[in-house]
Structure 1
Amino acid sequence: MNMSRRKFCGVGLLAVISPLGFPAFANPSARVRVGVLKFGTVNWELDTIKHHRFDAANGVDVEVVYFAGEDASNVAMLAGDLHVIVSDWLWVSRQRSEGEDLTLAPYSTAVGAIMVRQDAPIHDIPDLVGKKIGVAGGPLDKSWLLIQGLAQRDHKIDLAKEGEIVFGAPPLLSEKALSGELDAVLNFWHFCARLEANGFRRLIGAHEAAEALGASGPVSALGYVFREKWANENPDVAMGFIKASAAAKKLLADSDTEWQRLAPIVRADGRELEVLRDRYREGIPNRPLADEERDAAKLYAILADLGGERLVGKASQMAPGTFWAALKT
């Protein structure tokens, strides 16, 4: 069942405005159990899907299942308790290399960035030497590895050794940055957006590092992950979920009013809500899947070299089928 991303977005929107009404869900196979973190940004899109019944309009029933941590949702996915989770293509590729049949559909190209105060005397990577840098996600975080790779290639700087690196949870690192305990912080995209709304600026983003290292455009950092066997056996359900996602993204891209409705879930208002809205919109994937897949394979090779077996396992190349083939043109 081959369908281009452009085509499925169009079909999804046609389904939303169809006057035929919403289908009933007598068939439990139309249910899609999606596992997410309780306060993760994916909830913004899923709430939009449920509030506007984009799932029903596309023949599926999205059931949101909350988890306290990413590891728990990953385990539930592998155990067969969920149909869909959100994760990155490195994890999917590693699982495929180890025998799992996971695949993904792009969810967001939004990635983290190194943030500094507006008035900080830090304007380029060399200015980070000797500085105290907070890093979310740990030493094997993709964004951190890519920025380190760029620093090494272009400036012959080993940031891990020439900076004072502090690893920690994203909220804590943001607090330390705001209090002045850190000179710079590399955080996840939504924490960066909140910092931006509170007097910080982007020094360099992971997407800039990725493109400098060979990517031809934005690559989805995260995707909706599901089993290929499930998608092949239930193509209308799998594609219905993707169409519902596309409809929600279209509304979130076009409607400022929808963001006001979501404000309590986003837990932001005013300038902070506006920045989060704008950064979310910038992260909506809009490239052909084949282009993203090709660039991801390039980045995989770089990350495999930087992070080694601890990051990617024993596979030196991204596993074929990591990106869902049904979405290719």
Structure 2
Amino acid sequence: MMISRRATLRLAAFGTAAALVPRPSFATAPSFATARVRIGVLKFGTVSWALDTLKQHKFDTANGIDLEIIDFAGEDATNVAMLAGAIDIIVSDWLWVSRQRSEGVDLTLVPYSTAVGAIMVKEVAPILTIIDLKGKKIGVAGGPLDKSWLLIQALARRDHGLDLPATSDIVFGAPPLISEKAMQGELDAVLNFWHFCARLEANGFRRLIGADDAAKALGASGAVSALGYVFHDKWANENSDAVRGFIKASAQAKDLLARSDDEWLRLAPIIRAQGQELAKLRDRYREGIPRRPVAEDAADAGKLYRVLAEIGGDKLVGRAPAMAPGTFWQELPK
């Protein structure tokens, strides 16, 4: 029997209102004591795929937690809810976490995914290297301070003396619109989020250069997590078993997604993809599962922070010249 729970909390801060609506639970409440963990996510975001798997297979209850998934309409709303203490965990990037720590907020992060965007061009396009982007019309999702865009700009400047914003026609837009314009042939190249890139790959496009390629060229020794699970140090200190339970449950869900094609078929209606498109999303998701020690990830993020701070300036990172200590969570001793 499914339990249907629906509660709405209206939260206003910094002029932003967010509606928090828990998703229905997949199972009746366990008979043993569990810790409730509230995670806020974008309703149609890719994080929902892993969380759906986690709940479907009851990895949360198996690890002593009751995970409550709360949907949000936008990233700003999740950030506001986290800062207000309305939820326990969100997904965000280490740049935001570092900036919050630099300003006195005790947020920290556990790596979630290394999947990042890429410059995409049509298979038949006469664009073979980054230098060929000069003079082209480039669509960019996420805005001028998007990490992937800044990294690719930094590489173009260092290796080719090419200032892409100055020498190309840059068009910013929402990810779906950028992909649509690319499909219609209105853009020569696009930089989009990883899952939009994967869908383009299944529809006649190829990767010119990924943000991960740029990161490695700029000093990273391996794949750097683009996003992580974010929570307060204070909450983690007071709920150490719940944190460990959530991290383990998340790892079990990602492990299942890494090895089971059937699980992806089950998720197809949620992902809204099938056939070659679903397969490409599956493969790119699997490539983005973090597989190296957190200390290495954090060290490389620190290197990239300096690159991003130089090109993005105060608007991106505030006044902190280096990534704040503790941005990546140091697991508590048992």
* Cα 1:120/1:241, change in 2 over 3 Å: same
Structure 2: distance between partners of 1:24 and 1:122: 60
Which of 32, 35, 41 matches 1:36?
Answer: 41
Is the counterpart of residue 257 in structure 1 residue 268 in structure 2? no
Structure 1: distance between partners of 2:228 and 2:77: 17
Where in structure 2 are there 5+ consecutive unaligned residues?
Answer: 1-28
Specify the alignment match of 1:275 in structure 2: 280
Specify the alignment match of 2:305 in structure 1: 300
Is the counterpart of residue 236 in structure 1 residue 241 in structure 2? yes
Correspondence 1:65-84 to 2 at 5 A: 65-84=70-89
**Moved >6 Å (runs of 4+):** none
Specify the alignment match of 1:17 in structure 2: none
Which of 76, 94, 97 matches 1:92?
Answer: 97
Structure 1: distance between partners of 2:237 and 2:105: 15
Identity among equivalent pairs (%)? 74
Q: Specify which structure has the bigger relative contact order, considering alpha-carbon pairs within 8 angstroms and separated by 6 or more residues.
A: 1
Paired amino acid for 2:252? A
Structure 2: distance between partners of 1:69 and 1:228: 24
Paired amino acid for 1:310? K
Structure 1: distance between partners of 2:78 and 2:232: 14
Structure 2: distance between partners of 1:306 and 1:142: 10
Decide whether the 8 Å contact of 1:23 with 1:59 is kept in 2.
Answer: no
Paired amino acid for 2:243? A
Structure 2: distance between partners of 1:90 and 1:62: 26
1:51 offset after TM fit, Å? 0.3
Which of 24, 31, 49 matches 2:31?
Answer: 24
**Structure 1 length normalisation: TM-score?**
0.91
Correspondence 1:1-329 to 2 at 5 A: 23-24=30-31, 26=33, 30-326=35-331
1:327 offset after TM fit, Å? 7.4
* Cα 1:317/1:245, change in 2 over 3 Å: same
* Cα 1:68/1:200, change in 2 over 3 Å: same
Where in structure 1 are there 5+ consecutive unaligned residues?
Answer: 1-21
Structure 2: distance between partners of 1:320 and 1:124: 37
1:23 offset after TM fit, Å? 4.9
Paired amino acid for 2:50? E
Q: Deviations over 1:185-236 (max 9, x none)?
A: 0000000000000000000000000000000000000000000111111110
Q: Deviations over 1:116-149 (max 9, x none)?
A: 0000000001100010000001000000000000
Q: Deviations over 1:164-195 (max 9, x none)?
A: 00000000000000000000000000000000
Structure 1: distance between partners of 2:153 and 2:67: 39
SS of match in other structure, 1:36 = strand
Paired amino acid for 2:156? A
Root-mean-square deviation (Å): 1.1
Decide whether the 8 Å contact of 1:23 with 1:57 is kept in 2.
Answer: no
SS of match in other structure, 2:111 = strand
Decide whether the 8 Å contact of 1:25 with 1:61 is kept in 2.
Answer: no
1:25 offset after TM fit, Å? 5.7
Paired amino acid for 2:183? L
Q: Deviations over 1:257-288 (max 9, x none)?
A: 00000000010000000000000000000010
Structure 1: distance between partners of 2:299 and 2:31: 40
Decide whether the 8 Å contact of 1:130 with 1:164 is kept in 2.
Answer: yes
1:24 offset after TM fit, Å? 3.2
SS of match in other structure, 1:107 = strand
**Structure 2 length normalisation: TM-score?**
0.90
Decide whether the 8 Å contact of 2:240 with 2:332 is kept in 1.
Answer: no
Specify the alignment match of 1:7 in structure 2: none
SS of match in other structure, 1:208 = helix
